[in-house]
């Protein structure tokens, strides 16, 4: 069946006074390791488990079965955007989240500091330097690399090992392959054009990578940069206009702030901890009717293969569940944008746990919030792009379809 879900929902949406919280624990989905179970199974999370007994559970497919999604497609799906129709480079998300102005002549990309030895990427994240350490090295690049041929180059610091590169010039194109091998232990790769119009940009990017290596040759860990997610500024339907929601985003990392900004949410300033984010939610509760609340570290520890610390983040989030519920949201969703099993140390294709709480759920069918209870849940397995329909329905914001 070929239809546009957003167009259908847009026709059915009606105004209401209901409040919605979408809590995204990035990469929360996992797979069991030996007899220890998943991070969700191992975590002591009495509040999430109690909520599961009053909620409908299921599991989502971010893109298509078997497809491993990036964080961009994973979030777009949750927000109701077809991730295949709207293929957006990670660079624009990181750039907007870092408050970088992006104009018509710009191509932006997300970059990672990396450790390279003898042409091999031995650590794609350069040991996860602190944001402060990384910013100093970004400043070093900005001081020594300002232009390549007729293209201006600007650098903007991000979180930890991440930063943004902006290319400004005539005839730039974003149809490039990632200059990133994606895994440790593989040789350096350079970008290639995906169409003739991108040949100039590819040449500039590859020259930049070599210049970066020269400038950083004496750095012990941050001695190279991987560049990916090349993108110009895309145009998407705006979330507040499609769903008639006054929407706010609470996220600490630039990429997630960027995707919220791209779809038209207001991005709120917040601190770096889960506690800070909950405080921001409380302070702004009366001003908005939809809150996207993002927790990053579940994903970070999954990518590091650190199962125990992933468990600790889930337990930390659990402690704040009563504070969110004390605000009396009409709809409260807990999910992830994709799975990041610690055993794989990467994103994966596994379905993502999903829980929705409201006055109108078929409560009492589930015992806990984890992958296996979600797989058995009343919602079944469904595409993440359909989550917004469920959320709006539970918030009594959808009219009846048809006569």
401 assigned to some structural domain: no
Confidence class for position 2, pLDDT limits 50, 70, 90: low
Task: Look up the domain containing 288 and give its range.
Answer: 5-87+235-394
Of 183, 210, 231, the residue that ends a domain is 231
Q: Taking a C-beta distance cutoff of 8 angstroms, is the pair 353, 27 a contact?
A: no
Do residue 267 and residue 384 come from a single domain?
Answer: yes
72 assigned to some structural domain: yes
172 assigned to some structural domain: yes
CATH value at residue 170: 3.30.70
DSSP string, 106-126: EEEEEEEEEEEETTEEEETTT
Tokens of 196: 């003739």
Q: Can you tell me the distance from the alpha carbon of 132 to that of 215, in angstroms, rounded to the nearest whole number?
A: 19
Inform me whether the pLDDT recorded for 106 exceeds 80.
Answer: yes
Percent of the chain with pLDDT over 70: 100
Q: Taking a C-beta distance cutoff of 8 angstroms, is the pair 26, 71 a contact?
A: yes
Percent of the chain with pLDDT over 90: 88
Inform me whether the pLDDT recorded for 67 exceeds 50.
Answer: yes
What is the DSSP pairing of strand 352-357 with strand 56-61?
antiparallel
Do residue 32 and residue 125 come from a single domain?
Answer: no
Of 231, 254, 289, the residue that ends a domain is 231
Inform me whether the pLDDT recorded for 146 exceeds 70.
Answer: yes
Do residue 334 and residue 273 come from a single domain?
Answer: yes
Average pLDDT over residues 357-380: 95
Do residue 215 and residue 362 come from a single domain?
Answer: no
Do residue 205 and residue 260 come from a single domain?
Answer: no
Q: Can you tell me the distance from the alpha carbon of 69 to that of 67, in angstroms, rounded to the nearest whole number?
A: 6
402 assigned to some structural domain: no
Average pLDDT over residues 12-24: 96
Inform me whether the pLDDT recorded for 98 exceeds 70.
Answer: yes
pLDDT at 254: 86
Confidence class for position 94, pLDDT limits 50, 70, 90: confident
400 assigned to some structural domain: no
Cβ neighbours, 10 Å, residue 159: 21
Of 204, 231, 258, the residue that ends a domain is 231
pLDDT at 111: 94
Do residue 269 and residue 121 come from a single domain?
Answer: no
19 assigned to some structural domain: yes
Average pLDDT over residues 346-365: 95
Inform me whether the pLDDT recorded for 43 exceeds 70.
Answer: yes
CATH value at residue 372: 3.40.720.10
184 assigned to some structural domain: yes
Do residue 251 and residue 319 come from a single domain?
Answer: yes
User: What proportions of the chain, in percent to the nearest 5, are helix, strand and coil?
Assistant: 35, 20, 45
Inform me whether the pLDDT recorded for 1 exceeds 60.
Answer: no
pLDDT at 403: 78
Inform me whether the pLDDT recorded for 3 exceeds 80.
Answer: no
Inform me whether the pLDDT recorded for 207 exceeds 90.
Answer: yes
Do residue 390 and residue 247 come from a single domain?
Answer: yes
403 assigned to some structural domain: no
Confidence class for position 217, pLDDT limits 50, 70, 90: very high
Q: Average pLDDT over the chain, rounded to whole?
A: 94
Do residue 77 and residue 145 come from a single domain?
Answer: no
Do residue 220 and residue 172 come from a single domain?
Answer: yes
Which of 32-41, 152-161, 172-181, 281-290 is predicted with the least confidence, judged by mean pLDDT? 32-41
């Amino acid at each position: 069946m070929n239809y546009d879900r957003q167009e259908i929902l847009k026709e059915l949406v009606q105004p209401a006074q209901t409040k919605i919280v979408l809590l995204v624990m990035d990469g929360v989905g996992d797979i069991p390791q030996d007899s220890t179970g998943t991070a969700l199974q191992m975590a002591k999370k009495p509040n999430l488990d109690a909520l599961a007994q009053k909620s409908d559970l299921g599991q989502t497919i971010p893109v298509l079965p078997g497809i491993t999604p990036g964080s961009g497609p994973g979030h777009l799906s949750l927000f109701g955007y077809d991730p295949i129709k709207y293929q957006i480079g990670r660079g624009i998300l990181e750039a907007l989240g870092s408050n970088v102005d992006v104009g018509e002549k710009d191509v932006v990309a997300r970059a990672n500091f990396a450790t390279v030895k003898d042409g091999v990427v031995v650590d794609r994240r350069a040991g996860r330097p602190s944001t402060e350490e990384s910013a100093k090295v970004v400043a070093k690049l900005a001081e020594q690399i300002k232009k390549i041929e007729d293209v201006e180059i600007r650098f903007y610091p991000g979180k930890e090992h991440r930063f943004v590169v902006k290319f400004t010039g005539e005839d730039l194109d974003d149809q490039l392959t990632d200059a990133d091998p994606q895994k440790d232990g593989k040789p350096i790769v350079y970008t290639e054009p995906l169409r003739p119009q991108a040949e100039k940009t590819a040449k500039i990017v590859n020259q930049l990578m070599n210049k970066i290596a020269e400038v950083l040759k004496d750095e012990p860990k941050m001695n190279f940069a991987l560049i990916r997610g090349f993108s110009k500024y895309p145009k998407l339907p705006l979330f507040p206009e499609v769903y008639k929601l006054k929407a706010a985003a609470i996220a600490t990392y630039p990429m997630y702030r960027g995707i919220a900004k791209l779809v038209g949410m207001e991005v709120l300033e917040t601190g770096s901890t889960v506690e800070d984010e909950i405080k921001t939610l409380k302070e702004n509760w009366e001003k908005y009717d939809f809150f996207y609340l993002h927790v990053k570290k579940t994903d970070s520890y999954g990518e590091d293969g650190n199962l125990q610390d992933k468990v600790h983040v889930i337990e930390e989030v659990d402690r704040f569940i009563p504070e969110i519920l004390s605000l009396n949201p009409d709809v409260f969703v807990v999910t992830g944008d994709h799975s990041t099993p610690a055993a794989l140390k990467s994103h994966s294709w596994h379905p993502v746990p999903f829980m929705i709480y409201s006055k109108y759920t078929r409560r009492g069918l589930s015992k806990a919030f984890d992958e296996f209870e979600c797989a058995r849940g009343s919602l079944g397995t469904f595409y993440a792009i359909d989550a917004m329909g469920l959320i709006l329905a539970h918030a009594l914001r959808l009219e009846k379809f048809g006569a």
